[in-house]
Amino acid sequence: MDLRMLSRELSLYLEHQVRVGFFGSGVGLSLILGFSVAYACYYLSSIAKKPQLVTGAESFSRFLQDHCPVVTETYYPTVWCWESRGQTLLRPFITSKPPVRYRNEFIKTADGGQILLDWFDNDNSKSYMDASTRPTILLLPGLTGTSKESYILHMIHLSEELGYRCVVFNNRGMAGENLLTPRTYCCANTEDLETVIHHVHSLYPSAPFLAAGVSMGGMLLLNYLGKIGTKTPLKAAATFSVGWNTFACSESLEKPLNWLLFNYYLTTCLQSSVNKHRHMFVKQIDMDHVMKAKSIREFDKRFTSVMFGYQTIDDYYTDASPNHRLKSVGIPVLCLNSVDDVFSPSHAIPIETAKQNPNVALVLTSYGGHIGFLEGIWPRQSTYMDRVFKQFVQAMVEHGHELSNM
């Protein structure tokens, strides 16, 4: 039956049936109920949809359908908050922050710097009591994120349920540690990530080793995988809300409303993060000019691109965009994006490139925003992104060998 016809008929029925006292006919209640029915019909027909699954190999698609079925199930965004910006803004405030006790480790870099790793060892794991073979998940937070982000804490909580160990890679200078050299981080330079991966693998060479990156952390992870191909100790990887084309991301975030809601705030966060270490940069960078930046693009032009030796901001943004390297990824990678993400416009998602690489799977939802993916009436404990993460890492740890046999 046509949904509009159903909505109209139900509204007429309710108006006819409901009566309120001597003076009223229940029209107000009928309108409310009628609107609710109409909204429910609209939601079920236009909002709640199955994600688009794009893979470069039929074998990878079958593997995900068998062992990670969430990527083929209908995603029901929170009924009162399904719009992109609402999902993006609410997620940090509405989702819970599971308690996690970290073990801190500082490791040295080739240039004399230091990186802070936050470990969740999961020594109480009943599924993998032998620490040497306990699966290890490396987690990479977003642009200004650390191990304290709610999405990182949720991933650790889910990994704990599976019996896995986690380690969070905090970008230089972001987790309260001092900078020992005049260098921070960017998603185009993978040297620090390579150092971390080599270090973690050297500690547990017999343990299954996976990685998951969120937003800029996912961009960094994909750029690393695209550079190194199959020569990585990682068994598989997952990314969430990646910005595929940095030019398109920047252009979208500079639209007036997006600039007001996201761009300016993130710019101030970046400025604050580098201003704490201002004395380390004054010899090579005009920090007063950096602190006057009004957008991420201006910050990158005045600070990031200069720090990492790029001639122009365009050179940096070209090198930072993972869409160019997706074709060279040599291990199974699942990438979850929402097509309404204002941080990563849908037209920049490399669907055709993904179809040409048998190791790549794109999972594209119609709604979800940027690292949102809220679902349920009150989405405090879990998100769609959480479920994708849990099912995928479990599938790769327990059944990953099937892919090599397909």
Separation between Cα atoms, residue 39 and residue 35, nearest integer Å: 6
Query: Taken in order 385, 146, 89, 255, is the CA torsion positive or negative?
Result: negative
Give the SS3 label for residue 120: strand
Share of the chain above pLDDT 70, in %: 93
* CATH number for 164: 3.40.50.1820
Task: Assess whether 315 and 168 both reside in one domain.
Answer: no
Residue 29 in domain: no
The residues, ordered by sequence, that sit 6+ positions from 326 with a Cβ below 8 Å of its Cβ are 222, 226, 350, 353, 354, 357, 360
Is the pLDDT score of 6 beyond 90?
A: no
Does residue 4 carry a pLDDT above 70?
no
Residues 126 and 223 in one domain: yes
What is the tally of structural domains in the chain?
2
Contact 160, 393 (CB under 8 A): no
Please say if the pLDDT value at position 20 is more than 90.
no
Q: Let me know whether 147 and 255 are in one domain.
A: no
Domain boundary among 286, 320, 354: 320
What's the pLDDT score for residue 26? 61
Which of the 8 DSSP states describes residue 328?
A: G
pLDDT band at 32, cuts 50/70/90?
confident
How deeply is 215 buried, as exposed, middle or buried, from its count of CB atoms within 10 A (0-12, 13-18, 19+)? Answer: buried
- Confirm whether 43 is domain-assigned: no
Q: What burial class does residue 36 get, using C-beta atoms within 10 Å of its C-beta: 0-12 exposed, 13-18 middle, 19+ buried?
A: middle
For residue 113, is pLDDT > 90? yes
Average pLDDT over residues 299-313: 97
Give residue-wise pLDDT tens across range 280-305. 999 999 999 999 999 999 999 999 99
Q: Tell me the per-residue pLDDT of 201-259, one tens digit each, with 9 for 90 and over.
A: 999 999 999 999 999 999 999 999 999 999 999 999 999 999 999 999 999 999 999 99
Structure tokens at 138: 């490396």
- Residue 23 above 50 pLDDT? no
pTM over 0.75: yes
- Choose among 139, 135, 132, 53: nearest CA to 399: 135
* Residue 264 and residue 165 share a domain: no
- Catalytic annotation, residues: 215, 341, 370
pLDDT of 358 > 50? The answer is yes
Categorize the per-residue pLDDT at 317 as very low, low, confident or very high, splitting at 50, 70 and 90.
very high
Mean pLDDT, rounded, for 39-43 = 83
| Structure confidence by residue, pLDDT tens digits, 131-189 | 999 999 999 999 999 999 999 999 999 999 999 999 999 999 999 899 999 999 999 99
| Residues 206 and 194 reside in one and the same domain | yes
Tell me which residue range forms the domain holding 283.
246-320
Residues 267 and 387 in one domain: no
| Domain stops at, among 320, 348, 367 | 320
Q: Are residues 327 and 311 in the same domain?
A: no
Last residue of a domain, one of 289, 305, 320: 320
Q: Does 25 reside within a domain?
A: no
Check pLDDT > 90 for residue 17. no
Backbone angles phi, psi at 184, to 5 degrees: -110, -110
- The token duo for 28 is 């107000």
Q: Give the Cα separation of 121 and 119 in Å (integer).
A: 6
Reduced to 3 states (helix: H, G, I; strand: E, B; else coil), residue 169 is strand
| Whether pLDDT at 10 is above 60 | no
What is the C-alpha to C-alpha distance for residues 123 and 165, in angstroms, rounded to an integer? 8
pLDDT single digits (tens) 46-70: 899 999 999 999 999 999 999 999 9
pLDDT > 90: what percent of the chain? Answer: 85
Range 35-49 average pLDDT: 85
The residue with tokens 């509204």 is 11
pLDDT of residue 120 exceeding 50: yes
